[in-house]
Amino acid sequence: MGFLEGFLYGIFGGCLAEILGLFKLRREDPSRLPIWLKSIFYWIVTLLMIGSGGILVVIYLKSNFSLNPFIAVNVGASAPLIIGTLTSQAPDPKVGRVD
């Protein structure tokens, strides 16, 4: 799998994850939909997270991981979880004192 193909599979996975979130709102009365759904900020962050799914797949491929299309879509869909896990493991810079 090439980098472009992997990137597109990752983007597709990111889109599937976002569609699932929107799918859960399908039975809501349109007047009761969350206000954040109309927020430009929400959609910018959503597009960035979808793009991060494609970038993560490319990083896997550049690291010589062998991915098939199904795994690439899975990595793209799970990008927010992977990124959240990576950032939650960073040490807190405020812990301890340096004299």
Domain boundaries, the chain: 3-22+39-83
User: What pTM value is reported for the model?
Assistant: 0.76
Q: Specify the residue for token string 């550049």.
A: 62
Instruction: Indicate the residue type of 52.
Output: S
Pairwise CA distance, residues 12 & 53, whole Å: 8
Q: What is the pLDDT of residues 39-84, one digit of tens each?
A: 999 999 999 999 999 999 999 999 999 999 999 999 999 988 887 7
Q: What single string gives the DSSP state of each residue in 10-38?
A: HHHHHHHHHHHHHHTTTTS-GGGS-GGGG
Q: What is the pLDDT of residues 13-46, one digit of tens each?
A: 999 988 988 888 888 888 888 898 889 999 999 9
Q: For residue 86, what is the enclosing H or E element?
A: helix 79-88
At residue 42, the 3 state secondary structure works out as: helix
